[in-house]
Amino acid sequence: MTEVFTGSFTQQEPIPEAGIAAALDVLRHGRLHRYNTIPDEVAEADLLEQEFASLMGAKYALAVASGGYAMATALRACGIGAGDKVLSNAFTLAPVPGAIASVGATPVFVEVTEDLTIDLTDLAAKADQARVLLLSHMRGHIADMDALMALCEARDITVIEDCAHTMGAKWNGTWSGRHGVLGCYSCQTYKHVNSGEGGFLVGDDPELMARAVMLSGSYMMYGRHGAAPPVETFEDIRLETPNISGRMDNLRAAILRPQLQDLATQCDRWNARYRVMEDGLAQTPGLYLPHRPEAEDYVMSSFQFLLLDWDENAIRRVIAGCLNRGVELKWFGAEDPVAFTSKYDSWRYANPQPMPQTDRVLHGILDMRLPLTFSLEDCALIARIIRDEVARAFQMAAE
């Protein structure tokens, strides 16, 4: 009998009861705006920033409206503006080049490896084209950060990390987001903590973070940020920095605080599901699984495999066969962007140049979410279905 999966790839777990209770408290008192407090009250957004800074071992943290806003704010804080160029991965999602374009800059795309990380050889070749790298840890795959940071430091390139898919991950014991001058995180529904939308910035540089606080729309209330630089840092910055409002509100902060407390446990649960998928697809003919280095402590809320150098029709057979059995795979090799899976050559505002190595990799990438509503048994079933359909298509192509 042919196995079929009947679960949903978009159904998340409910918000923890502690988050629901905290949200109800905010709704009952009505002070949703982060600066709308009563005497001796510390806003939920302020508490969240302090807790996230402590968790990440950062001096400063800022809670904002989205991960995309965090990236654009980081770029502005680093002085990137109209006419500038910014290095970034060719394999990423639209908010990354979107953040670059939103400040009037132009992306310079860097090739991707078969292991879905930025190609350091191509990065070195393009290092003289920009002074900032917006590094996307796309889909949770972390490059060799020791080598990358050494390269960027030697070339005087400032690194901003997009950690939308790596909150809770580490490289050689250092949190993702703590290698560069600023780390950007997302709290969108499909990320590791869920407030629908939302994001964080973290960093240790007081001037950069003071600019970020002012950019977020603090007006002259920066002194009410417990995880911000000292007030004297703002003396000139407060008068030189535009207000581009993107604050997080107290309702979302209240929902997120209990989730941060559970982050380590949740990350372990995602990784258990990922490993079941890896084990189930290991040694499948024609299927390549990205290598995970020993130095990488990953957090995988999604799963990717590659059908490298496969014919388009054979890949489509795998996608269709899996879909008929309830498994939704997203393909980065389609000509036209579908849902979240747009790619560098569809971002025409960036005037992208052809990238044959990346084109080959993107053509083979199949991607799926791993929500925590999946059991380990669900993941084993999904792996069997994918393995079966890949084997079927691989055999047809060989005949």
User: Cα–Cα distance between 108 and 352 in angstroms, integer?
Assistant: 8
Report pLDDT for 336: 84
pTM of the predicted structure, to 2 decimals: 0.97
Q: Which CATH number fits domain 263-398: 3.90.1150.10, 3.40.50.10210, 3.30.70.250, 3.30.70.270?
A: 3.90.1150.10
Residue reference for tokens 């209770």: 21
Q: Is the dihedral of CA 306, 308, 310, 313 positive or negative?
A: positive
Class of domain 17-261: alpha beta
Mean pLDDT, residues 285-312: 97
Check whether 298 has a pLDDT greater than 80. Answer: yes
Whose tokens are 């509100």? That residue is: 249
Q: How far apart are CA 274 and CA 267, in angstroms?
A: 10
Residue 23: phi, psi to the nearest 5? -65, -40
Q: What is the pLDDT of residue 1?
A: 59
In eight-state DSSP terms, residue 231 is G
Q: For residue range 342-368, list pLDDT tens digits in order.
A: 889 999 999 889 999 999 999 999 999
> The dihedral of CA 306, 308, 311, 314: what is its sign?
negative
pLDDT score of 271:
98
Helical segments of the chain, H only: 17-29, 44-56, 67-77, 95-102, 120-126, 145-154, 206-215, 234-240, 250-261, 263-281, 312-324, 356-364, 376-398
In the chain, residues under CATH classification 3.90.1150.10 are 263-398
SS3 of 233-289: the string is HHHHHHHHCCCCCCECCHHHHHHHHHHHHCHHHHHHHHHHHHHHHHHHHCCCCCCEC
Contact criterion met (CB below 8 Å) for 135 and 148? yes
Paired strand residues for 62: 201
pLDDT at 342: 85
